[in-house]
Amino acid sequence: MRFVPLLFIALVASQGFADVTGFTIYKSEFYEHDHKPTVTQVTPDGKVKKTNAKVGEATQVAVSATFNKEIEDGEAYAQVTFPTFASDAGNGGYAWGKTIESVRVTIRMGNGEHKYFWFNDGGKSLQLEYPAPGVSPYSDYLLKTVLRGNNHDMSRAVNGHMPSKIPQQQLFSKDSLWMQSSSWGKETYRTIDMPELLPKFDTATAIISFMDARFRNADKMDLKQISKTINTQEVLQHVEGLLEWALTVDLLETPIYRASVEIEAELKE
């Protein structure tokens, strides 16, 4: 049996603090031989919507929280996916693990463009996908990951299967920002002089830590209680900060873009 992770997006009536216009808790229950899940949605005002209801024991349960911010001609949202239960995860089933590791900010524009600002690894890395024609030979997007600190698993960082030779502990401090890239066995890196980005990493880490401390067993929890726990000024203002930054930053005017261009040029030599 194969499960396909789904990304659910919803625009919700105005709720919460700051400019985050709402959030929805999703519980998706997958059943054997049926890839159309039962989806239960709970909004901050306690409204519950359930679709495709089935009877029986679910073989996989996925729970996530999606925070929305209204924008013109598009949509912006931050999503946290909680650990997923899968009854046969040890026998080829699909599971997301036992801890909460990411908060992912996504912007989709009406012209078809998108921007990803995905804080992964507990908030230690920032995966970027940003419109930048001409940077990558394979895409019209800047595809890079900014790393923070000197304690990353780089055992498969070169061509996806070989270890990096970059001596992290010698080159970087706990607050260093840097990028690594490779092509055909050749590897290089650049440090990123962008101290204003460090608070964004801190904010993402705070969101992830808050969620991880409370929702590791979200598949067994009452969704209204999850919604009530999340609907706090602390959480919503943190999320608002990340969304507002993602909507206003121009990566093409930052050291991230300049370092990306340098990296791609070096790898071509």
160-176 confidence digits (pLDDT tens): 889 999 999 999 999 99
**CA 10 and chain centroid, separation:** 16
How many C-alpha atoms does 258 have within 13 Å on its Cβ side?
7
Q: Quote the crossing angle between the two packed helices 198-214 and 233-248, to the nearest 10°.
A: 140
Q: Count Cβ atoms within 10 A of the Cβ of residue 202 and give its class: 0-12 exposed, 13-18 middle, 19 or more buried.
A: middle
Domain-wise residue ranges, the chain = 22-268
Q: Average pLDDT for residues 193-214, to the nearest whole number?
A: 96
Output the pLDDT for position 7: 35
Output the pLDDT for position 91: 55
β-pair partners for 29? 38, 61
Q: Average pLDDT for residues 57-78, to the nearest whole number?
A: 92
Q: Are 77 and 68 in contact (CB under 8 A)?
A: yes
Q: What is the pTM of this model?
A: 0.88
Output the pLDDT for position 269: 79
| Cβ within 8 Å of residue 178, ≥6 positions away | 146, 147, 171, 172, 189, 190, 191, 192
Helices within the chain (DSSP H only): 168-171, 198-214, 223-230, 233-248, 255-268
- Band of residue 89 on the pLDDT scale cut at 50, 70, 90: low
In this predicted structure, the answer to whether residue 95 has a pLDDT above a threshold of 70 is: no
Q: How many residues does the chain have?
A: 269
Of residues 174 and 56, more confidently modeled: 174
Residue with tokens 């029986």: 56
